[in-house]
Each structure stands twice: as C-alpha cells, then as structure tokens.
Amino acid sequence: MIDQPKPLLGSSRDLVDRAFGWLAFGAAALVLLILGMIAMTMTSRASSVFSKMGLDFFTTKRWAPPENIFGGLSFIWGTLYTSLIAIVLAVPISLAVALFITQVAPRRLKMPLVYVLDLLAVVPSVVFGLWGVLAFASPIQGVYTKIHHLVRGIPVLQSIFGDTPQGRCFMTAGIILAIMITPIITSLAREVIETTPQNEKEAAYALGATRWEMIRGSIIPHSKGGIVGTVMLGLGRAMGETIAAALVIGASIGQLSLDVFSPGNSMPAVIANEWGEADDLHKSGLIAMAVVLFMITILVNVIASTIVRRSMARSRGKRT
C-alpha cells in the first residue's frame, strides 16, 4: 500500500473532497437564495399596485378590483383581529395544559398525553377548515346568538358580540385558529417550564408551599420570558395560517368591524378565495397583499424566536 519514497502529494481524491464541500455550501446558500428571490420577485410583481396606491394600500379599506382600487386595511385588520382572538383563547388553555402535563398529571399519563397533543398537531389545517365550515359553523351560530342575547344592553360588549351572528365570522376563525395553535404553544411552553431547576421547585415545597404556590413562585417567574416568546411564535403561526381561516372567516369585503360575530376577511383568506377568478391586475393586488403578510409574519417570527432563544439560554446558564 505504500512505497517508501513516494511523495506525499495530493491526489484526485482531494478534488472530490473539495467539490463535496462546495456542494454542501451551495445547499446551505440555497436558503438565502430562496428567501431573497421571494422578496424580490413578489415585490416586483406587486410594484404596480404599490406605486399606484402608495400608502393608501395600508390605510384604505376599500377593495374594488374592477376599479383598480386596492385598499388592504380591512384584510390587515382581519388578520390581526382573528389572530388576537386566537391568542386570547389559546394561550390560557395552552398554559393550563402545559402546567397540567408537567406538574399535575401522574407520571404515567404524561407520555400518552403528549402523544395525543402531537396527534392534534399533525392533522392538516385543511381538515380543520373542513370541519369548521361543515360541522361547526352552523351549530355554533346558535351559541353565538345566545351570547348576544346575554350581553344585549351592555354598552361595549354588545357591539363586540353583535347582532345577527353568522356561523362564518371572526369568532369562528379565531376558534379554529386557537385549536390549531394550541398544540404548538403547549409543547413549547412545556419545554420552557421544564427548564425550571429542580432545586428551585424543591425549595418552594420545603417552605410548605402548595403546588399552586410553587408554580406561582418558582415556575412562572422562571418561565415568563420563554412563555412570551412562545406566545409570539403562536401568534406568527396564526397569522400565516391560510386555509382554515379562509374557509370559515366569511369572506366579506371592505369592512372594518369589531363585531366578532360578523363575517370578515384576512390577508391569506382573501388571496385564497379571490385568486381563482382574478385577472392579472387583480392578481397583482393579491400578491401585494402577500408581500405585506410576508413582512408581518417574518417580523413576528424573528422577534419571537429571538426571545425564546435568549430566555432558554439564560435559564440553562443559570442551571450550570
């Protein structure tokens, strides 16, 4: 295998080695390439609409494609409002479930419970939407009507839970989104909660605290930062979730309403619903909507993951 005074020079094997390195580099750079291309091509396709509407795109609620008027405000509002509803519903439940799984449930139940939750996470979003529109919207309308009757007469509440509730409205979209993002928030919250050092928990118990007092005193202060980041990640998910929302949100145009029971629209929903019959200019308007959605969700996700990462690093640092 070796002849002694053979020089120790490189061979063709080293060329293959280099080539592999470059191939791997290219694959990694692909991420940057794709993101860059998304930003560039979408913006350029939408540029005609942006230049025509200017800032009005964000401030007008009037959306009339046949007249070349594209005001995105109502959709931006819809996205924010449904995401808000989703967060308001999902966060307390997710935290309760996360605390339940980590602190209350008997050890044996823990794995099956986590399994069940992960199952929920795997169900495709379109199935949620299907169920929402065909099996949920009609029955829940009755519930909405009852709620409306309950708050009739109370000033602010009666406009939020308005009259003539529809099955397909902000509220339904918010509920469906909440169901969809709960598993994610729960599993991330679980991770954050489990970084609480064991001896901080034991210290609370040793002082005679009840379980709830231990949670309040040790776990919550420790996990606060991470939970905030987790909630924001859930928010990002809710905002980008297209299909389930599109099916149940009601597809109204150009309305800005606080009434959760009124049909509304959101950025992803209007794109999905109107694309099929849109002409070129209309399509550009929808693409412009997508660009705005892109920016907002990226912003939320970046802030969220930075917060989560920082707080996990901090809590691990405390441990060692």
State the minimum distance, in angstroms, from the CB of residue 274 to other proteins.
Answer: 12
Residue 93 is a binding residue for other proteins (CB under 8 A): yes
What H or E segment, with its residue span, contains residue 69? strand 69-70
In a 13 Å sphere around the CA of 254, the CA atoms on its Cβ side amount to 8
**Per-residue exposure over 136-158, b if at least 16 CB sit within 10 Å of its own CB, e if not:** bbeebbeebeebbeeeeeeeeee
| 206 near other proteins, judged by CB under 8 A | no
Q: Report the site for other proteins in 104-133 (rule: CB under 8 A).
A: 104, 113, 116-120, 122-131, 133
Which range, of 65-73, 93-101, 140-148, 197-205, touches other proteins by CB under 8 A?
93-101
Task: State the CB neighbour count (10 A cutoff) for residue 120.
Answer: 14
Residue 81 Cβ, how far from other proteins at the closest point, in Å?
A: 17
Amino acid sitting at position 241: E
Which residue in 200, 225, 305, 312 binds other proteins (CB under 8 A)? 305
Among 47, 103, 159, 255, binds other proteins (CB under 8 A): 103
Residue 255 in the binding site for other proteins (CB under 8 A): no
The reply on whether position 191 binds other proteins by CB under 8 A is: no
* Least distance (Å) between residue 271 CB and other proteins: 6
Residues 213-252 that bind other proteins (CB under 8 A): 213, 215, 236-237, 239-243, 246-247
Residues in 47-66 at the binding interface with other proteins, rule: CB under 8 A: none
Contacts of 79 (CB under 8 A, 6+ apart): 239, 266, 267, 268, 293, 296
The 134-173 site mask, x for binding other proteins (CB under 8 A), equals xx--------------------------------------
Query: Rounded distance, CA 281 to CA 63, Å?
Result: 13
**CA atoms in the 13 A half-sphere facing the CB of 148:** 19
Phi, psi at 56, each rounded to 5°: -55, -25
* 281 forms part of the interface with other proteins (CB under 8 A): no
CB within 8 Å of 187: residues ≥ 6 apart: 114, 117, 118, 121
16 binds other proteins (CB under 8 A): yes
207 forms part of the interface with other proteins (CB under 8 A): no
- Helices 280-319, 12-53: axis angle to 10 degrees equals 120
Nearer to other proteins, 28 or 313 (CB): 28
**Conformation bin of residue 157: beta by default, left when phi > 0, alpha when psi is -120 to 50:** alpha
CB of 196 vs other proteins, minimal distance in Å: 16
Q: How far is CA 265 from CA 37, 77, 253, 257, in A?
A: 28, 8, 7, 10
Smallest gap from Cβ 102 to other proteins, in A, equals: 10
Closest to other proteins by CB, 298 vs 312, is 298
**Do the Cβ atoms of 205 and 218 come closer than 8 Å?**
no
**Cβ 44 to other proteins shortest distance, Å:** 9
- Tell me how many residues contact other proteins (CB under 8 A): 95
Give the residue with the Cβ less far from other proteins, 123 or 256: 123
Minimum distance from CB of 220 to other proteins (Å)?
A: 12
* Min separation Cβ 179 and other proteins, Å: 5
Query: Residue 27 has which token pair?
Result: 């694959």
Strand-pairing partners, residue 118, are none
